[in-house]
Structure 1
Amino acid sequence: MRQLRKNKFVSLFRSSPLNDFLVPFRKAQNQWVARYIIIVFALIVRCAVGIGPYSGENTPPMYGDFEAQRHWMEITTHLPIGKWYYFDLQYWGLDYPPLTAFHSWLLGKIGSLIDSSWFALNVSRGLETPDLKSYMRITALFSELALYIPAVILFTRWMGRYYNNASTIDQTIIAAAILYQPALIIIDHGHFQYNSVMLGFSLLALVNLLYDNFCVAAILFTLSISFKQMALYYAPIFFFYLLRICLRSPRTHSVCILRFVSVGCSVIATLFLEFLPFVVFGGIGQIKQCLIRLFPFERGLFEDKVSNFWCATNIFIKYKSIFSTSQLKTIALVFTLIGIAPSCGLICFKPRKELLPWCLASCSMAFYLFSFQVHEKSILLPWMPITLLLNEVDSDVISMVCWFFNAALFSMWPLLKRDGLIIQYAVLGILSNWLMGNLSWIRKALRAIKLPVHYRNLATPVLPHNLFWRVIIVGSYIAAIGLQIVEFVFDPPKSLPHLWIIGNVEISFCSFALFWIWCNYRMFTLAVDDSKLKTE
């Protein structure tokens, strides 16, 4: 595999605390110590977040996502497989794909060996003992350690070798910058979920695409969808890329029927093996029941206030009172198809590996903005490929990506506040920006007013060079900080109890929409610049 870029790598984190911590290992021939350090520190940060509260703590009768995950371990370890998707749907009925069910079964079995009362059928509901909470937190840690963290390191390694010419230590620094982003940390280890499994499978699938392991990539991405159906946000890009590679190889310009059949059979075989136990022990109706549980369209266009197009514009257009659920499904589908068209068309007609993270970011962001039934945590879907853009050797890209990170964290504020994760929200936000050097402007400001601070070069520019984006980013930060100050000082009017949440939605949506537009622009700019796209 030939190298894609010939220019010298320039580290955009060279003056950041993250670089200061890891640069002493630069001369080492093997960087395993540096990787060990960033992984251990990543786990320590996650453990610290896990000490705090979680979704639904001490809030009967439904509790929250923590109880949902525990309850799935309860039903999968005590009920026959044919009843998993039918049991007590008014409580926390299983509504994720088969791989989540098997994951819950495995963790439930292991946990039952430690203390069987944690998952006792019907009598363990709402259980919140310290040992159970510790066990659940540990399962989230090991799930991420097994899949997502290795996937990040593998991706940055490929980018360093074949795209941006980054040295091994610079690859480690970029991987650390990705791993210390707060959105996934605070959702999986604070709020409590297992999103890292889905994201890990998707990222491993992407890595295998980069290495031309097409069947392995297809299997891994199928596993990702089979863990959480939201991974479908990435499906169009994987589909069109594999379709184009199979039907017209960029190298030979010939149709590769064997590859096409192999990829198709890999997907079918994976799905067959996953659903086989349900069909054998519950009949063919299990597949229909599973699909009904996975796509609950009866819930409507949206439930909670989320920073997407429909919720943001609902203050002007009352969609639910104007259109039926069936009509809203069709309208949302049309908008989503229009939104994903640019990225799907580009990756189909120009199937370049360098474009994959950009197209995944654009496509998943369009799903988040326009699709039916989006949740606050769904921002993690576009968040994952956008973190991969930290591998780009372009300060403007890094600045825009950092803006997105902050907007994503801010968009989840209403959810995190409800969970009691206020301290975690603030500390993680400050920590991640400080590590990447985004707070270096403070030192510059102190020097400007003649305070005796140690001189050092600034790290990655906080703002891009373009004046328009500077104004947008500064304006969004002022609006977000102002809203949070107002929210802490004043209660919302009784006639408008959700006013502050709506303000959060509007600021976040405008930021996401503008970032999506910019992402599409840069995606096509990169595609046109053939000097950066030299080979497959």
Structure 2
Amino acid sequence: MARIVSLFKSSPLNDFLIPFRKAQNQWVARYIIIVFALIVRSAVGIGPYSGEATPPMYGDFEAQRHWMEITNHLPISEWYFYDLQYWGLDYPPLTAYHSWLMGKLGSFIDPSWFALNTSRGLETADLKSYLRITALIAELAIYIPAVQMFTRWMGRYYRKVTTIDQTIISAAILYQPVLIIIDHGHFQYNSVMLGLSLLAVVHLLYDNYCLAAILYVLSFSFKQMGLYYAPIFFFYMLSACTWSSDTHSFDLQRLISIGLCVIVTLGVQIAPFLIFGGLGQPQQILIRMFPFDRGLFEDKVANFWCATNIVIKYKKLFTSEQLKAMSLALTLLGILPSSLVIFFNRRKELIAWCLASCSMAFYLFSFQVHEKTILLPWMPIVLLLNEVDPDVISMVCWFCNVALFSMWPLLKRDNLIIQYFVLGVLSNWLMGNLSWIRRFLRMIKLPVKYRDLATPVLPHNWFWSLVIVTSYLAASALHIADAFVQPPRSLPHIWIIGNVVLSFGCFMLFWLWCNYKIFVMCTTPESKLKTN
């Protein structure tokens, strides 16, 4: 059996879990990492949230609460039409049903939390606790099991690693701060959409195509950004029908069954709106889900359009229709390599890589991207921690740190500054990425207890090591400037722009590296990959 544990040698994460190495079943270790993960998320939830005490619109916390309010008091025909100038419902039907259920359960505790119109801006401690608990339960029920199931499959059937190594990798994924600080700090339910997508991936690994299709439809039916993964799911399943491993020919029955699962899953969700609201409901739902009238980008985000807008003023030079066409063309070009690879080279170990490349292309080039959208490429990228390759793990850690840094302006606005720094340090410390401090202390002759340095910290390639170190130094400089240097009046957003440009450059380089790795894997025999 391969041993992943050596890749985290001398790291705190390894030290915490290595006593369970000899256990036949790792259930105790798994429960320990889950309990600790919930404690960390609960601690973050004690802090501020999006829009706290900032009337009249407040923020995402109020948006989620308001959707529970309107779905519990209005007929379904009005859900997507009611008071759109406030926090009108703009997520797909599954989110609406979820809001209805959470509002119904919460109303049993205290009906005033979701009283129509009179509860707007409510920020009581018990309401906050209730909503925070619902976010915890959602992640515990969907995302956390999906992570463990994926890691278990990769460990058993692909890399052939021990159960303790699988547990360590699961912990490394669950303690990454990006999802924690958005769902349990800023406040959203992204873990539901990401967890359903990951469960769909797991069932692709087990060749359960119909169940995978149902779960993936539920994923983007909860949050439309789940469509970032659509090309990979589509071409993987189409490939499974075109070159069936069972019949070695086109499998029409499989294609029909997958298609029916997709249609029925969507139909069941839309049917109540059609029955009680009429034929105009689907159009209104789509208009609310895809607000193209908001423009190329709404806020400063580390993608191609916002970063290059510093030089090229797109909104002045091009019409909205031209920008939509340009964005579509670049996005299609960006997702093409991963889509073609997964169709013509349907290998299960390529799924996470292709999902990472495809969703990263959407983030970089598509229309109307938000800072939080980095969660979409982040999810498949953290799954790459399952690779038995210290260089890959180093690159993934770098990406996760940059992803957290890219959300700094948003998190600062939410007053999540302490949570941002504590989670960033905690995750890197657990992974062993701060072991270089011990080396530095030894160099200056401070009395530090001798201990092996943890790996990995930097990749072996000198170019990527230089890129990573330079980006960390630049990010640190921007943080120091943001804290102590007043920006000039002519450039009031200079530090935010610096964040956008630096993060975009890192994301672009990572996307190119990801596509290179996919090319290498496609040209390497599968048997050799498993033994490396």
Shared fold, TM over 0.5: yes
Give the deviation of 1:14 after TM superposition.
2.6
Choose which of 65, 90, 96 in structure 1 pairs with 2:91: 96
Give the deviation of 1:251 after TM superposition.
5.2
Amino acid corresponding to residue 124 of structure 1 in structure 2: S
Give the deviation of 1:337 after TM superposition.
0.4
Amino acid corresponding to residue 71 of structure 1 in structure 2: H
| Matching of residue 182 in structure 1 with residue 177 in structure 2 | yes
Matches within 5 A, 1:282-431: 282-431=277-426
Task: Point out where structure 1 has 5 or more consecutive residues left out of the alignment.
Answer: 1-5
**Deviation string for 1:319-354 (max 9, x for gaps)?**
001111111110000000000011001001101000
Give the deviation of 1:451 after TM superposition.
1.9
In the alignment, the residues of structure 1 paired with residue 211 and residue 205 of structure 2 have an alpha-carbon distance, to the nearest angstrom, of 11
8 Å Cα contact 1:10-1:393 kept in structure 2: no
Identity of aligned residues (%): 74
Output the aligned Cα RMSD: 1.2
| Matching of residue 75 in structure 1 with residue 70 in structure 2 | yes
Amino acid corresponding to residue 30 of structure 1 in structure 2: N
In the alignment, the residues of structure 1 paired with residue 490 and residue 227 of structure 2 have an alpha-carbon distance, to the nearest angstrom, of 39
In the alignment, the residues of structure 2 paired with residue 126 and residue 460 of structure 1 have an alpha-carbon distance, to the nearest angstrom, of 48
Give the deviation of 1:532 after TM superposition.
3.8
Give the deviation of 1:11 after TM superposition.
3.4
Q: Give 2:236's aligned residue.
A: 241
In the alignment, the residues of structure 1 paired with residue 507 and residue 112 of structure 2 have an alpha-carbon distance, to the nearest angstrom, of 44
In the alignment, the residues of structure 2 paired with residue 36 and residue 193 of structure 1 have an alpha-carbon distance, to the nearest angstrom, of 25
Q: Give 1:3's aligned residue.
A: none
Matches within 5 A, 1:68-147: 68-147=63-142
In the alignment, the residues of structure 2 paired with residue 532 and residue 202 of structure 1 have an alpha-carbon distance, to the nearest angstrom, of 29
Task: Point out where structure 2 has 5 or more consecutive residues left out of the alignment.
Answer: none
Amino acid corresponding to residue 458 of structure 1 in structure 2: L
Choose which of 181, 190, 204 in structure 2 pairs with 1:195: 190
Secondary structure at the aligned position of 1:234 is classed as: helix
8 Å Cα contact 1:180-1:432 kept in structure 2: yes
Amino acid corresponding to residue 509 of structure 2 in structure 1: L
In the alignment, the residues of structure 1 paired with residue 521 and residue 445 of structure 2 have an alpha-carbon distance, to the nearest angstrom, of 42
In the alignment, the residues of structure 2 paired with residue 145 and residue 11 of structure 1 have an alpha-carbon distance, to the nearest angstrom, of 29
8 Å Cα contact 1:9-1:165 kept in structure 2: no
In the alignment, the residues of structure 1 paired with residue 115 and residue 5 of structure 2 have an alpha-carbon distance, to the nearest angstrom, of 56
Q: Give 2:208's aligned residue.
A: 213
Choose which of 16, 19, 30 in structure 2 pairs with 1:24: 19
Number of equivalences? 530
Choose which of 47, 59, 65 in structure 2 pairs with 1:52: 47
What TM-score do you get using the length of structure 2 for normalisation? Answer: 0.98
Give the deviation of 1:461 after TM superposition.
2.3
8 Å Cα contact 1:222-1:270 kept in structure 2: yes
**Deviation string for 1:454-506 (max 9, x for gaps)?**
22222222111111111111110110000100110012111111111000000
**Deviation string for 1:170-210 (max 9, x for gaps)?**
10110000000000000000000000000000000000000
Secondary structure at the aligned position of 1:198 is classed as: helix
Amino acid corresponding to residue 58 of structure 1 in structure 2: A
Q: Give 2:165's aligned residue.
A: 170
Q: Give 1:434's aligned residue.
A: 429
Give the deviation of 1:445 after TM superposition.
1.4
Give the deviation of 1:534 after TM superposition.
7.4
In the alignment, the residues of structure 2 paired with residue 157 and residue 201 of structure 1 have an alpha-carbon distance, to the nearest angstrom, of 17
8 Å Cα contact 1:305-1:502 kept in structure 2: yes
Q: Give 2:486's aligned residue.
A: 491
In the alignment, the residues of structure 2 paired with residue 197 and residue 475 of structure 1 have an alpha-carbon distance, to the nearest angstrom, of 35
In the alignment, the residues of structure 2 paired with residue 251 and residue 301 of structure 1 have an alpha-carbon distance, to the nearest angstrom, of 46
In the alignment, the residues of structure 2 paired with residue 534 and residue 454 of structure 1 have an alpha-carbon distance, to the nearest angstrom, of 38
Give the deviation of 1:169 after TM superposition.
1.0
Give the deviation of 1:29 after TM superposition.
1.3
Secondary structure at the aligned position of 2:250 is classed as: coil
Secondary structure at the aligned position of 1:12 is classed as: helix
